[in-house]
Amino acid sequence: MIFNWFYLFKIATKHYTQGMIPLLYRILIITLASVYLAGCNGDKNYSTDDDTSKDTGTGTDTDTVLPPLSLDVNKNAAPLVADGHYFRDAKGGVVMLRGVNVAGNSKVPPFTPVSDITDLEILPRLGFNTIRLLFIWEAFEPVQGEYNNEYLTYFMKVVDWADELGLYVVTDFHQDAYSRYSLDGCGEGFPGWAVTPQVKLSTPDNGEACTLWGINMVSDESLITIWSDFHSDAYGAKSAYLKMVETVAKSLLPYDNVIGYDLINEPWGDDDDLFTLFDQIGRRIRKADPDAILFVPAHALVTGGVRINNVPMIDLDNVAYSPHYYNGVVLLQGKWLKTDPAPDLNKLRAKAAIENVPMFLGEFGAPAATENGQGYMEAQFDWLDRYFISGAQWNYTPGWQKDVKDGWNMEDLSIIDDTGALRANFVRRPYPQRISGAPISFQTDDKGFTLYWENRKGYGETIIHLPEGYEKNREITVTPGGKARGECTISDNSLICNIEGDGEVRVSFQ
C-alpha cells in the first residue's frame, strides 16, 4: 500500500525521474504533506444521492450507465476470464470478485502467516469469494539461483485451503520500496541480493522507525538507483524476477482456483519502463499458464486516481486493470472527513473503460481506529456496487498483535484483531457474487437491496451474498420481464435466483 497524496509533490517527482533529490526536497515533501493535511476541511460531503461520477478529470464521461456485455456465452476451460468490462465464468455469468489481501505479516520472516485452513474459514462467511495472496520473492529465492521450495509448498497449501473454501486466488507478486534491505530497512519484497551493488544494503527493520516509510520512499535517492538498475537489468535482477514469476506460474498451473497474477505490486519507473516490464512479466506468465488473468498494476503514484495512468495496456488478451486506492488523510490523520471518494475512483475506472478491460481494485481500506471509518468503507463499497467493480480490501492478518499491528512498519489495517474478532474497518454488506446475464443496477439502503439485470437462458444462477442474519424481517420480491420466469430462495447466507428465459429481472429483498 502507499499514501495517495504523493501526487502533490510534482517537484519531487520530477527530480526523481532526473535522479536528483537533495535533502531540501525531503524537507519540502514533509512540509507540503503537513500543509495539505491541515488544509483538508472536508467541505465536500459524501452522499450516495450525489451524481459525482460524470466529471472524471480525464476528459472521459463516466456516468452511471454500465458498459454493454456481449451476450454470447464465452465457453472456456478457465474458471474465469476477463471479457470486456467484466469477469465471466464458463457459463457466461458475470462474477464479482470481492476479496481481501492475505496478509500484512506476509512481508516479514517467516513469511508464512497462514498456518491452517482454520485461519481462512471466516472469509467465505464474511462474503469474500477471493483472496489476493501475497507472494514474497525474498522468501522464495533468498539466495540467488536457489529456490526455497518449502516456501512454495507453503504457498500451494494456502491455495489448496482456499480452494476447499470456494475462494478464488489472485497471486500477488508483492513489494513495497523494493526490499527489506533498502529504504533504511523499511521496504519489503525483493531479496537483498537483487539490490543493486551501487547501493549499500540496509539492515532490515520494519518496526516503529518505519512508520513514515511512504514519505521517505518518495525522497530516497538510493531507490532511484535501485529501480533504474532493475529496469535496465544492469545486474540481472529483472531477468531473475522474470524467471521467478514463470517458475511460480508453472507450479500453480494445476490449481483451478488460481485465476491470475498481479504482475508486481506498486512499482516505480517511467511509463516506458513500466510498459516494458508489464509486457515482459505478462508474456512469461503466458508461457507457463495460457489461461491466467493478468492483473496489470499502475505506477505507485497513481494510487487514488490522483495521477493519470499513461502507461498503455499490454497487448495481451485476458487482462484486467488493477490499481489501488487510499485516502491520505485517513491513513495519516486517522479520520475520514466525509470527502467523496468517487472522483478519485472514477479516474481509475476511466482507465479501465478506455482499455476495455475489467477493473480490480487490488487494495483499499482504512486503519481500524479511523474516525468515521465505517462510513468511509461504506462509501467505497457503494461506488464498487454502482459499477459492479471487483476488488480486495487491505487486509486480513492472522496473527495480528497489539504491539506490532499488521506486522510490517506498524501499519494497522487488518480487519481482525488478536482474538480473531472483526474490527471497525470492516462492514458487512450484501452484494451480487454472480449474475446470469448483463448487470444493470444494484442499490442498497437501510431497508435492503434491489438488483436489476438482463437475464439470459442457460447462464446459470444469480447469487447475492447475504451477511449473517440479513434475511430477518425482509421479504423477497421477484419481478421478471419478457420471457424470464423463476424464483429466488435463501440458502447458506446467499439469495439464489434460478431464472429461466430472456428478459430483465428485478429482485428486491426488503
Cα-Cα-Cα-Cα dihedral sign, residues 483, 481, 490, 461: positive
Q: In angstroms, what CA-CA distances link 199 with 129, 195, 202? A: 42, 7, 9
Q: How many helices (H) and strands (E) does the chain have?
A: 12, 19
- Nearest of 224, 242, 206, 269 to residue 410 by alpha carbon: 206
Owner of C-alpha cell 491470475: 260
DSSP 324: B
Question: What 3-state DSSP class applies to 319?
Answer: strand
Phi and psi torsions of 21, nearest 5°: -135, 95
- Nearest of 262, 352, 360 to residue 308 by alpha carbon: 352
CA distance 382 to 51: 13
In the predicted model, residues of the chain with pLDDT beneath 70 are 1-77, 304-306
Domain ranges of the chain: 6-429, 437-509
Cα-Cα-Cα-Cα dihedral sign, residues 46, 51, 57, 61: positive
C-alpha cell of residue 385: 456496487
b/e map 140-170, b = 16+ CB within 10 Å: bbbeeeebeeebbebbbebbebbeebebbbb
Q: In angstroms, what CA-CA distances link 7 with 44, 51, 239, 304? A: 20, 25, 30, 10
- pLDDT of 20: 35
- pLDDT of 308: 85
Question: Which is it for strands 431-435 and 390-396: parallel, antiparallel or unpaired?
Answer: unpaired
- pLDDT of 50: 38
- Nearest of 457, 453, 460 to residue 480 by alpha carbon: 453
Fold of 6-429: TIM Barrel (3.20.20)
DSSP state letters, 434-445:
EESEEEEEEEEE
- pLDDT of 332: 87
pLDDT tens track for 454-484: 999 999 999 999 999 999 999 999 999 999 9
Q: Where are the alpha helices (DSSP H) in 356-412?
A: 373-387
Q: Which helix (H) or strand (E) holds 451?
A: strand 448-455
Q: Name the β-bridge partners of 98.
A: 391
DSSP state letters, 107-121:
GSTT-----SGGGTT
CA distance 38 to 16: 26
Q: Secondary structure of 43-95 in the HEC alphabet?
A: CCECCCCCCCCCECCCCCECCCCCCCCCCCCCCCCCCCEEECCEEECCCCCEE
- Nearest of 359, 377, 352 to residue 367 by alpha carbon: 377
pTM of the full predicted structure? 0.91
- pLDDT of 71: 54
Cα-Cα-Cα-Cα dihedral sign, residues 333, 335, 338, 343: positive
Radius of gyration of the chain (CA): 22
Q: In angstroms, what CA-CA distances link 4 with 158, 388, 508? A: 31, 23, 37
Question: What 3-state DSSP class applies to 3?
Answer: coil
Q: In angstroms, what CA-CA distances link 468 with 211, 365, 451? A: 36, 22, 19
Question: How many CB atoms neighbour CB 71 within 10 A?
Answer: 12
CA distance 452 to 247: 43
CA distance 477 to 488: 8
Which amino acid would we find at residue 498? N
